[in-house]
């Protein structure tokens, strides 16, 4: 395959850049004198950076308007207006900043512009922002899966950046206290854009479901923060299946029961002493199981639409060990279509199953 | 469970050919894409061997809005202005979803830059 040189690409690039210019203003909102020119072109930056932007605000009223404060609707940030008092027929430039933190993708950050207008004290200015990661995979995670207490399983994972010629991890900023993290500080001879790391559970890792984050610092100045999610489940003398309990999607005012089975490693059938649910909608009753196991029926009585998670804590006769069984569910309105995707492998590409990203993410806002 | 987000892979064709040369220090990449729902834009990478390593060229993503509509597809161009005479370059392109996930598009473009083409 061949390509070619272009005679005057600079002109084309300039034309393209010109087309990215901010679009014109929108009419003044109901009840207010100020009109905010919308920003159409997303600000692009790396994850964990600070997005900055500017809005032009016009005063279409007949009286001066003082901009009292500018701040993000959520998250850390600030803003200012110059001038603070916008004369009739005049305009001001509102500058904003906001930390993007863990966000990723196309987001519209909202900023509250507070004024001294009695009939319209606040306005919302939205800054389209495209937050990208310097690393691939963009959302890194390590999953130990089910683990036997006292063992020290190790998981290797790697992070790549094609945004730099060579990548180094220079510091472990933080990690869960039940985890060791190691890496080779030397560049990978086969692929200098790749770093291989190892995560290992400590002997004293607590039992139950573990979840945390590994915070690393790399030498890539534009995005030095690299965050890796880590999870696993440490079982002691008791084992449970299924684990965790995923009720999935339910219509409101319906019920769903999952049969939970619990075994002991020594082959003896556990005897339930107590079961405590963190949510009153989830209850536990005796169920059926073979002689060597404990059967429990865990029922969710779905009320009003909501998404929630919790846990059932099981206590056993003759044992000091408790077993925390997490559960999660999403209760939806009666008319909502539900499609059960089953259990998906983390690497499954489910392009043909999910709704298109544009439907899910293009409408995302930081206030959702 | 960690699940990877979705990036629809555009139907894409790298369009190659040659144009009269007036800018001796540039290489132009052109491509066309359809079915771009969920796509935010494109990132271009360059290497000096087919095996890489490939390094990102465009700090600003080539956005879908930068493309020129042409029937069912959009046509894009990107000028690499950092080429050196006599050096063969290899290019690959990632499609970037609005969820910021990148996915490498199939195909690689190679070109030896010659100022007197």
Q: What are phi and psi for residue A185, nearest 5 degrees?
A: -70, -15
- What's chain A's average pLDDT? 84
Strand order in the sheet with B68-70: B11-14, B27-34, B73-80, B68-70
Min distance A160 CA to chain B CA atoms (Å): 11
- What's chain B's average pLDDT? 80
Min distance A317 CA to chain B CA atoms (Å): 32
Cross-chain residue pair A5–B110, CB shorter than 8 Å: no
pLDDT higher than 90, residue A363: no
pLDDT at B116: 56
Strand order in the sheet with A91-99: A34-36, A50-59, A91-99, A77-82
Is residue A8 less than 8 Å (CB to CB) from chain B?
Answer: yes
pLDDT higher than 50, residue A270: yes
Instruction: List Cβ<8 Å contacts ≥24 apart for A173-176.
Output: A173/A215, A173/A216, A173/A217, A173/A225, A174/A213, A174/A214, A174/A215, A175/A212, A175/A213, A175/A214, A175/A215, A175/A230, A176/A210, A176/A212, A176/A213, A176/A214, A176/A230
- Cβ under 8 Å to B: A residues 325-344: 343-344
Is residue B61 less than 8 Å (CB to CB) from chain A?
Answer: yes
Is residue A362 less than 8 Å (CB to CB) from chain B?
Answer: yes
DSSP string, A333-366: -TT-------SPPTT---TTTSPPHHHHHTT-BT
In this prediction, residue A5 has a pLDDT band, given cuts at 50, 70 and 90, of very low
Is residue B5 less than 8 Å (CB to CB) from chain A?
Answer: yes
Cross-chain residue pair B1–A344, CB shorter than 8 Å: yes
Asked if the bond preceding A83 is cis, omega within 30° of 0, the reply is yes
Cross-chain residue pair B3–A20, CB shorter than 8 Å: no
Contact B113, B85 (CB under 8 A): yes
Count other C-beta atoms under 10 Å from residue A290's C-beta.
10
pLDDT at A29: 47
pLDDT higher than 90, residue B86: no
In this predicted model, what pLDDT tens digit does every residue of A294-346 receive, in sequence order?
999 999 999 999 988 999 999 999 988 888 899 999 999 888 888 776 665 55
Contact B117, B18 (CB under 8 A): yes
Using a CB-CB distance cutoff of 8 angstroms, which residues of chain B are in contact with residue A193?
A: 53
- CB-facing half-sphere around the CA of B81: CA atoms within 13 A: 13
Q: What angle do CA A267, A209, A155 make, to 5 degrees?
A: 95
- Cβ under 8 Å to A: B residues 64-83: 65-66, 77, 79, 81
Cross-chain residue pair A351–B8, CB shorter than 8 Å: yes
pLDDT at A21: 33
Using a CB-CB distance cutoff of 8 angstroms, which residues of chain B are in contact with residue A346?
A: 1-4
Give whole-number Cα distances, B95 to A41, A46, A194, B47, B99, in Å: 18, 17, 20, 18, 11
In this predicted model, what pLDDT tens digit does every residue of A131-150 receive, in sequence order?
999 999 998 899 998 898 88
Q: What angle do CA A124, A129, A134 make, to 5 degrees?
A: 155
pLDDT at A30: 61
In this predicted model, what pLDDT tens digit does every residue of B5-22 receive, in sequence order?
344 444 444 444 333 344
Cross-chain residue pair A344–B16, CB shorter than 8 Å: no
pLDDT higher than 50, residue A99: yes
Min distance B43 CA to chain A CA atoms (Å): 10
Q: Which of B6, B97, B113 to mutate to test the interface with A (most CBs of A within 10 A)?
A: B6
Cross-chain residue pair A362–B98, CB shorter than 8 Å: yes
Query: Comparing A4-18, A64-78, A244-258, A317-331, which segment has the lowest mean pLDDT?
Result: A4-18
Is residue A16 less than 8 Å (CB to CB) from chain B?
Answer: yes
Is residue A245 less than 8 Å (CB to CB) from chain B?
Answer: no
Min distance B70 CA to chain A CA atoms (Å): 16
In total, chain B counts a number of residues equal to 117
pLDDT at B115: 63
How far apart are alpha carbons A82 and A115 in whole angstroms? 13
Is residue A229 less than 8 Å (CB to CB) from chain B?
Answer: yes
Q: For residue A129, what is the nearest residue in chain B, using CA coordinates?
A: B98
């Amino acid at each position: 395959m061949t390509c070619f040189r272009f005679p005057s690409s600079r002109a084309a690039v300039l034309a393209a850049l010109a087309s990215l210019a901010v679009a014109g203003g929108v009419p003044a909102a109901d009840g207010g004198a100020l009109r905010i020119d919308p920003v159409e072109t997303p600000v692009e930056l790396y994850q964990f950076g600070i997005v900055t932007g500017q809005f032009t605000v016009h005063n279409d009223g007949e009286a001066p308007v003082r901009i009292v404060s500018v701040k993000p609707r959520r998250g850390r940030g600030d803003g200012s207006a110059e001038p603070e008092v916008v004369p009739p027929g005049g305009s001001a430039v509102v500058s904003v900043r906001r930390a993007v933190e863990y966000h990723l993708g196309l987001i519209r950050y909202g900023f509250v512009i507070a004024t001294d207008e009695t009939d319209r004290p606040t306005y919302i200015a939205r800054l389209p922002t495209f937050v990208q990661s310097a690393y691939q995979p963009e959302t890194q995670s390590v999953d130990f899966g089910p683990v036997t207490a006292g063992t020290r399983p190790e998981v290797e994972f790697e992070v790549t950046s094609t945004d730099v010629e060579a990548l180094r991890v220079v510091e472990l900023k933080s990690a869960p206290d039940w985890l060791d993290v190691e890496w080779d500080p030397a560049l990978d001879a086969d692929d200098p854009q790749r770093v291989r790391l190892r995560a290992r559970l400590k002997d004293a890792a607590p039992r139950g479901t573990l979840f945390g984050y590994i915070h690393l610092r790399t030498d890539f100045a534009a995005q030095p923060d690299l965050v890796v999610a880590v999870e696993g489940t440490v079982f002691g003398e008791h084992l449970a299946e299924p684990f965790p309990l995923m009720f999935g999607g339910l219509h409101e005012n319906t019920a769903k029961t999952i049969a939970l089975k619990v075994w002991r490693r020594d082959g003896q059938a556990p005897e339930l002493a107590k079961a405590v649910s963190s949510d009153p909608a989830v209850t536990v009753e005796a169920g059926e199981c073979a002689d060597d196991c404990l059967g429990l029926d865990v029922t969710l009585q779905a009320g009003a639409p909501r998404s929630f998670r919790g846990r059932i804590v099981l206590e056993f006769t003759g044992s000091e060990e408790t077993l925390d069984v997490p559960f999660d569910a999403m209760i939806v309105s009666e008319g909502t279509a539900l499609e059960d995707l089953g259990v998906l492998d983390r690497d499954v590409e489910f392009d043909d199953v999910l709704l298109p990203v544009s439907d899910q993410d293009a409408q995302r806002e930081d206030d959702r | 469970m960690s699940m990877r987000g979705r990036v629809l892979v555009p139907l894409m064709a790298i369009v190659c050919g040659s144009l009269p040369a007036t800018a001796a220090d540039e290489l132009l990449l052109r491509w066309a894409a359809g079915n771009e729902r969920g796509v935010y834009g494109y990132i271009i990478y360059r290497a000096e061997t087919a095996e890489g390593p490939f390094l990102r060229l465009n700090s600003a993503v080539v956005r879908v809005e930068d493309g020129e509509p042409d029937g069912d597809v959009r046509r894009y161009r990107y000028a690499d202005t950092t080429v050196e005479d006599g050096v063969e370059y290899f290019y690959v392109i990632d499609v970037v979803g609005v969820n910021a996930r990148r996915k490498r598009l199939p195909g690689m473009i190679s070109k030896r830059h010659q100022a007197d083409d």
